[in-house]
Amino acid sequence: MRKLLPVILVFLAVSCAAEESSEGFSVVASDFPSYDAARAILGGKGGVTMLLPPGTESHSYDPNPRDMIKIAECDLVVYTGGASDEWVRTILSSLDSPPASFALTDQVQLLWEEQKEGMETEDGHQHDHSEHEIDEHVWTSPVNEAVIIRNLSDVIVSLDPMNEDIYRSNAEEYIARIMELDAEFRSIVENSERNTLIFASRFPLLYFVREYGLDYYAAFPGCAEESEPSARTVAFLIDKAKELEVPCILTIELSSELIARTIAEEAGCDVRVFNTLHNVTASDFRSGKDYPELMGENIEVLKEALN
Protein backbone atom coordinates (compact mmCIF):
# COMPACT_ATOMS: atom_id res chain seq x y z
CA MET A 1 0.00 0.00 0.00
CA ARG A 2 2.57 2.58 1.10
CA LYS A 3 4.80 1.86 -1.83
CA LEU A 4 1.90 2.69 -4.13
CA LEU A 5 1.20 6.14 -2.77
CA PRO A 6 3.45 8.18 -5.09
CA VAL A 7 1.87 6.48 -8.11
CA ILE A 8 -1.54 7.06 -6.64
CA LEU A 9 -0.97 10.76 -6.16
CA VAL A 10 0.06 11.17 -9.78
CA PHE A 11 -3.08 9.36 -10.89
CA LEU A 12 -5.24 11.45 -8.60
CA ALA A 13 -3.72 14.66 -10.01
CA VAL A 14 -4.65 13.44 -13.49
CA SER A 15 -8.10 12.31 -12.34
CA CYS A 16 -9.00 15.78 -11.05
CA ALA A 17 -9.36 16.78 -14.66
CA ALA A 18 -11.68 13.88 -15.38
CA GLU A 19 -15.36 14.73 -15.52
CA GLU A 20 -17.74 13.70 -12.79
CA SER A 21 -19.94 10.76 -13.55
CA SER A 22 -23.49 11.86 -14.20
CA GLU A 23 -25.17 8.49 -13.70
CA GLY A 24 -26.83 9.23 -10.38
CA PHE A 25 -25.77 8.37 -6.87
CA SER A 26 -22.55 6.34 -6.84
CA VAL A 27 -21.11 4.15 -4.13
CA VAL A 28 -17.69 2.50 -4.05
CA ALA A 29 -17.37 -0.50 -1.71
CA SER A 30 -14.07 -2.01 -0.64
CA ASP A 31 -15.29 -5.59 -0.18
CA PHE A 32 -18.35 -7.85 -0.43
CA PRO A 33 -20.11 -7.10 2.90
CA SER A 34 -19.88 -3.37 2.14
CA TYR A 35 -20.97 -3.87 -1.47
CA ASP A 36 -23.91 -6.06 -0.54
CA ALA A 37 -25.25 -3.57 2.03
CA ALA A 38 -25.08 -0.62 -0.37
CA ARG A 39 -26.57 -2.63 -3.26
CA ALA A 40 -29.49 -3.73 -1.10
CA ILE A 41 -30.42 -0.14 -0.23
CA LEU A 42 -29.85 1.40 -3.64
CA GLY A 43 -31.71 -1.35 -5.49
CA GLY A 44 -31.61 -0.16 -9.10
CA LYS A 45 -31.03 3.48 -8.09
CA GLY A 46 -27.46 4.58 -8.64
CA GLY A 47 -24.47 2.31 -9.00
CA VAL A 48 -22.34 0.33 -6.58
CA THR A 49 -18.81 -0.73 -7.49
CA MET A 50 -16.93 -3.41 -5.53
CA LEU A 51 -13.16 -2.90 -5.59
CA LEU A 52 -12.23 -6.41 -4.37
CA PRO A 53 -12.50 -8.79 -7.35
CA PRO A 54 -15.01 -11.61 -6.74
CA GLY A 55 -13.45 -14.92 -5.71
CA THR A 56 -10.28 -13.39 -4.29
CA GLU A 57 -8.84 -13.27 -0.80
CA SER A 58 -10.04 -10.10 0.94
CA HIS A 59 -7.31 -9.64 3.54
CA SER A 60 -4.39 -9.16 1.22
CA TYR A 61 -6.01 -6.90 -1.37
CA ASP A 62 -3.89 -3.96 -2.49
CA PRO A 63 -5.75 -1.09 -4.16
CA ASN A 64 -4.58 0.00 -7.60
CA PRO A 65 -4.55 3.55 -9.03
CA ARG A 66 -7.90 2.98 -10.73
CA ASP A 67 -9.43 2.22 -7.30
CA MET A 68 -8.12 5.55 -6.00
CA ILE A 69 -9.78 7.38 -8.86
CA LYS A 70 -13.07 5.58 -8.25
CA ILE A 71 -12.94 6.56 -4.58
CA ALA A 72 -12.08 10.17 -5.40
CA GLU A 73 -15.03 10.45 -7.79
CA CYS A 74 -17.84 8.66 -5.97
CA ASP A 75 -20.51 10.04 -3.64
CA LEU A 76 -20.01 7.53 -0.83
CA VAL A 77 -17.36 4.99 0.15
CA VAL A 78 -18.51 1.98 2.18
CA TYR A 79 -15.82 -0.17 3.80
CA THR A 80 -15.30 -2.60 6.66
CA GLY A 81 -12.96 -0.36 8.65
CA GLY A 82 -10.66 -3.09 10.02
CA ALA A 83 -7.14 -4.22 9.22
CA SER A 84 -8.08 -5.75 5.85
CA ASP A 85 -9.14 -2.47 4.25
CA GLU A 86 -7.29 0.14 6.27
CA TRP A 87 -6.00 1.43 2.92
CA VAL A 88 -9.43 3.07 2.45
CA ARG A 89 -8.72 5.44 5.35
CA THR A 90 -5.26 6.19 3.92
CA ILE A 91 -6.77 7.12 0.56
CA LEU A 92 -9.55 9.20 2.11
CA SER A 93 -7.08 11.17 4.21
CA SER A 94 -4.95 11.87 1.14
CA LEU A 95 -7.84 13.56 -0.71
CA ASP A 96 -8.50 17.30 -0.53
CA SER A 97 -12.25 16.83 -0.66
CA PRO A 98 -12.95 13.19 0.17
CA PRO A 99 -16.38 11.67 -0.51
CA ALA A 100 -18.68 10.75 2.39
CA SER A 101 -17.67 7.48 4.02
CA PHE A 102 -19.28 4.72 6.08
CA ALA A 103 -17.36 2.01 7.99
CA LEU A 104 -19.23 -1.13 9.08
CA THR A 105 -17.08 -1.35 12.23
CA ASP A 106 -18.27 2.13 13.33
CA GLN A 107 -21.86 0.93 13.61
CA VAL A 108 -21.81 -1.71 16.35
CA GLN A 109 -20.13 -2.69 19.59
CA LEU A 110 -16.73 -4.14 18.66
CA LEU A 111 -15.07 -7.26 20.05
CA TRP A 112 -11.38 -8.04 20.41
CA GLU A 113 -10.08 -10.98 18.44
CA GLU A 114 -10.02 -13.89 20.84
CA GLN A 115 -7.14 -16.20 21.63
CA LYS A 116 -8.95 -19.36 22.59
CA GLU A 117 -7.61 -22.55 24.15
CA GLY A 118 -5.81 -24.73 21.60
CA MET A 119 -5.53 -21.99 18.98
CA GLU A 120 -2.47 -21.28 16.95
CA THR A 121 -0.98 -17.87 17.69
CA GLU A 122 0.21 -15.80 14.74
CA ASP A 123 3.90 -16.05 15.64
CA GLY A 124 3.86 -19.02 17.99
CA HIS A 125 3.84 -16.82 21.11
CA GLN A 126 1.11 -15.80 23.49
CA HIS A 127 0.08 -12.15 23.19
CA ASP A 128 -0.94 -9.46 25.64
CA HIS A 129 -4.51 -8.32 25.27
CA SER A 130 -3.13 -4.95 24.11
CA GLU A 131 -1.47 -6.61 21.12
CA HIS A 132 -4.73 -8.09 19.92
CA GLU A 133 -6.64 -6.61 17.06
CA ILE A 134 -10.23 -5.54 16.92
CA ASP A 135 -12.28 -8.24 15.24
CA GLU A 136 -13.56 -6.64 12.05
CA HIS A 137 -16.11 -9.31 11.06
CA VAL A 138 -19.10 -7.45 12.46
CA TRP A 139 -21.42 -8.49 9.61
CA THR A 140 -21.33 -12.18 10.60
CA SER A 141 -24.02 -11.47 13.19
CA PRO A 142 -27.37 -10.92 11.43
CA VAL A 143 -28.38 -8.59 14.27
CA ASN A 144 -25.34 -6.40 13.52
CA GLU A 145 -26.11 -6.61 9.82
CA ALA A 146 -29.60 -5.23 10.39
CA VAL A 147 -28.14 -2.27 12.33
CA ILE A 148 -25.62 -1.68 9.53
CA ILE A 149 -28.38 -1.64 6.89
CA ARG A 150 -30.49 0.80 8.91
CA ASN A 151 -27.57 3.18 9.59
CA LEU A 152 -26.32 3.01 6.02
CA SER A 153 -29.79 3.78 4.69
CA ASP A 154 -29.89 6.90 6.91
CA VAL A 155 -26.56 8.05 5.44
CA ILE A 156 -27.63 7.35 1.85
CA VAL A 157 -30.94 9.18 2.39
CA SER A 158 -29.09 12.19 3.79
CA LEU A 159 -26.86 12.28 0.70
CA ASP A 160 -29.59 11.62 -1.87
CA PRO A 161 -32.90 12.71 -0.28
CA MET A 162 -34.77 12.72 -3.61
CA ASN A 163 -34.96 8.92 -3.48
CA GLU A 164 -35.70 8.61 0.21
CA ASP A 165 -38.86 6.48 -0.17
CA ILE A 166 -37.14 3.90 -2.36
CA TYR A 167 -34.10 3.63 -0.10
CA ARG A 168 -36.19 3.32 3.05
CA SER A 169 -38.43 0.65 1.63
CA ASN A 170 -35.47 -1.32 0.21
CA ALA A 171 -33.77 -1.17 3.62
CA GLU A 172 -36.91 -2.30 5.48
CA GLU A 173 -37.44 -5.26 3.14
CA TYR A 174 -33.83 -6.31 3.52
CA ILE A 175 -33.87 -5.99 7.29
CA ALA A 176 -37.00 -8.15 7.40
CA ARG A 177 -35.21 -10.90 5.42
CA ILE A 178 -32.18 -10.65 7.71
CA MET A 179 -34.31 -10.86 10.85
CA GLU A 180 -36.05 -13.97 9.48
CA LEU A 181 -32.61 -15.54 9.30
CA ASP A 182 -31.89 -14.39 12.83
CA ALA A 183 -35.06 -16.12 14.05
CA GLU A 184 -34.05 -19.34 12.22
CA PHE A 185 -30.59 -19.38 13.79
CA ARG A 186 -32.03 -18.67 17.22
CA SER A 187 -34.52 -21.50 16.93
CA ILE A 188 -31.85 -23.96 15.72
CA VAL A 189 -29.65 -23.13 18.70
CA GLU A 190 -32.54 -23.35 21.16
CA ASN A 191 -33.57 -26.76 19.88
CA SER A 192 -30.14 -28.26 19.37
CA GLU A 193 -28.40 -31.03 21.26
CA ARG A 194 -25.01 -29.36 21.22
CA ASN A 195 -23.55 -25.93 21.80
CA THR A 196 -20.03 -26.12 20.39
CA LEU A 197 -18.66 -25.65 16.88
CA ILE A 198 -15.19 -26.80 15.80
CA PHE A 199 -13.49 -24.88 12.99
CA ALA A 200 -10.33 -26.31 11.41
CA SER A 201 -9.62 -22.89 9.91
CA ARG A 202 -9.51 -19.23 10.76
CA PHE A 203 -12.40 -18.06 12.91
CA PRO A 204 -14.13 -14.89 11.70
CA LEU A 205 -17.39 -15.80 13.46
CA LEU A 206 -16.96 -14.35 16.93
CA TYR A 207 -19.91 -11.97 16.49
CA PHE A 208 -22.06 -14.86 15.27
CA VAL A 209 -21.31 -17.22 18.16
CA ARG A 210 -21.67 -14.45 20.76
CA GLU A 211 -25.04 -13.44 19.32
CA TYR A 212 -26.41 -16.98 19.65
CA GLY A 213 -24.62 -18.04 22.81
CA LEU A 214 -22.51 -20.72 21.13
CA ASP A 215 -19.09 -22.01 22.12
CA TYR A 216 -16.32 -22.88 19.66
CA TYR A 217 -12.78 -24.10 19.08
CA ALA A 218 -10.74 -23.09 16.03
CA ALA A 219 -7.27 -23.43 14.53
CA PHE A 220 -6.61 -19.69 14.12
CA PRO A 221 -8.09 -16.54 15.68
CA GLY A 222 -10.02 -13.99 13.52
CA CYS A 223 -8.46 -13.85 10.11
CA ALA A 224 -4.88 -14.46 11.14
CA GLU A 225 -2.60 -15.27 8.25
CA GLU A 226 -3.43 -18.91 7.59
CA SER A 227 -0.45 -21.22 7.44
CA GLU A 228 -0.29 -24.89 8.39
CA PRO A 229 -1.47 -25.28 11.96
CA SER A 230 1.03 -27.02 14.22
CA ALA A 231 0.71 -30.71 15.09
CA ARG A 232 -0.26 -29.57 18.59
CA THR A 233 -3.26 -27.55 17.33
CA VAL A 234 -4.40 -30.34 15.01
CA ALA A 235 -4.13 -32.87 17.86
CA PHE A 236 -6.08 -30.55 20.17
CA LEU A 237 -8.92 -30.19 17.65
CA ILE A 238 -9.02 -33.95 17.00
CA ASP A 239 -9.28 -34.58 20.76
CA LYS A 240 -12.05 -31.98 21.13
CA ALA A 241 -13.95 -33.41 18.14
CA LYS A 242 -13.78 -36.90 19.69
CA GLU A 243 -14.59 -35.74 23.19
CA LEU A 244 -17.64 -33.74 22.06
CA GLU A 245 -18.57 -36.30 19.39
CA VAL A 246 -19.30 -33.50 16.92
CA PRO A 247 -21.05 -34.62 13.72
CA CYS A 248 -18.90 -32.33 11.55
CA ILE A 249 -15.76 -30.24 11.44
CA LEU A 250 -16.31 -26.80 9.95
CA THR A 251 -14.19 -24.68 7.69
CA ILE A 252 -14.84 -21.34 5.98
CA GLU A 253 -15.39 -20.54 2.30
CA LEU A 254 -12.46 -19.95 -0.06
CA SER A 255 -10.17 -21.77 2.35
CA SER A 256 -8.29 -25.07 2.14
CA GLU A 257 -10.30 -28.02 3.45
CA LEU A 258 -7.23 -30.19 3.86
CA ILE A 259 -6.77 -29.74 7.62
CA ALA A 260 -10.50 -30.13 8.19
CA ARG A 261 -10.46 -33.46 6.29
CA THR A 262 -7.52 -34.69 8.34
CA ILE A 263 -9.26 -33.86 11.62
CA ALA A 264 -12.59 -35.24 10.41
CA GLU A 265 -11.02 -38.53 9.32
CA GLU A 266 -9.34 -38.97 12.70
CA ALA A 267 -12.51 -38.08 14.60
CA GLY A 268 -14.77 -40.06 12.26
CA CYS A 269 -17.04 -37.20 11.19
CA ASP A 270 -17.86 -35.01 8.18
CA VAL A 271 -16.61 -31.64 6.91
CA ARG A 272 -18.96 -28.73 6.20
CA VAL A 273 -18.30 -25.21 4.94
CA PHE A 274 -19.70 -22.25 6.87
CA ASN A 275 -20.03 -19.19 4.65
CA THR A 276 -18.68 -16.06 6.35
CA LEU A 277 -19.36 -13.78 3.35
CA HIS A 278 -15.88 -12.33 3.06
CA ASN A 279 -16.26 -12.51 -0.68
CA VAL A 280 -18.36 -14.34 -3.28
CA THR A 281 -17.34 -16.49 -6.22
CA ALA A 282 -17.44 -14.87 -9.64
CA SER A 283 -20.60 -16.79 -10.56
CA ASP A 284 -22.40 -15.88 -7.31
CA PHE A 285 -21.38 -12.27 -7.96
CA ARG A 286 -22.82 -12.36 -11.48
CA SER A 287 -26.06 -13.93 -10.31
CA GLY A 288 -26.38 -11.29 -7.58
CA LYS A 289 -26.48 -13.59 -4.54
CA ASP A 290 -27.02 -11.47 -1.46
CA TYR A 291 -26.50 -11.63 2.31
CA PRO A 292 -29.76 -13.39 3.22
CA GLU A 293 -29.17 -16.05 0.53
CA LEU A 294 -25.50 -16.66 1.38
CA MET A 295 -25.99 -16.53 5.16
CA GLY A 296 -29.08 -18.68 4.67
CA GLU A 297 -26.85 -21.46 3.27
CA ASN A 298 -25.52 -21.77 6.82
CA ILE A 299 -28.89 -22.80 8.26
CA GLU A 300 -28.52 -26.45 7.27
CA VAL A 301 -24.83 -26.44 8.19
CA LEU A 302 -25.56 -25.14 11.67
CA LYS A 303 -28.42 -27.58 12.14
CA GLU A 304 -26.15 -30.45 11.22
CA ALA A 305 -23.21 -29.24 13.32
CA LEU A 306 -25.28 -28.84 16.49
CA ASN A 307 -27.28 -32.06 16.34
Binding site for Zn ion (CB under 5 A): 204, 223
Burial of 195 (0-12, 13-18, 19+ CB in 10 A): middle
Backbone φ and ψ of 41, nearest 5°: -80, -40
- Comparing CB distances to Zn ion, the nearer of 154 and 257 is 257
- Name the minimum Å distance from CB 116 to Zn ion: 16
Cβ-proximal residue to Zn ion, closest one:
223
Min separation Cβ 307 and Zn ion, Å: 28
Please answer whether residues 154 and 102 qualify as being in contact, where contact means their C-beta atoms are separated by less than 8 angstroms. no
Least distance (Å) between residue 11 CB and Zn ion: 28
CA dihedral 197→201→204→206, nearest 10 degrees, is 30
Q: To the nearest whole angstrom, how small is the minimum distance from the Cβ of residue 205 to Zn ion?
A: 10
Q: How far is the CB of 223 from Zn ion (least distance, A)?
A: 3
Quick one: 69 or 295, whose CB is closer to Zn ion? 295
Instruction: State which residue, 159 or 294, has the beta carbon closest to Zn ion.
Output: 294
- In the bound state with Zn ion, the residue whose beta carbon lies nearer, of 138 and 267, is 138
CA gap 38, 28 in Å, rounded:
9
**From CA 30, how far away is CA 136, in angstroms rounded?**
14
- Of the two residues 35 and 167, which places its CB atom closer to Zn ion in the complex? 35
Closest contact distance (angstroms) between CB of 79 and Zn ion is 13
Residue 80 C-beta: closest distance to Zn ion, Å: 9
Nearer to Zn ion, 171 or 223 (CB): 223
Question: Of 204 and 292, which CB lies nearer to Zn ion in the complex structure?
Answer: 204
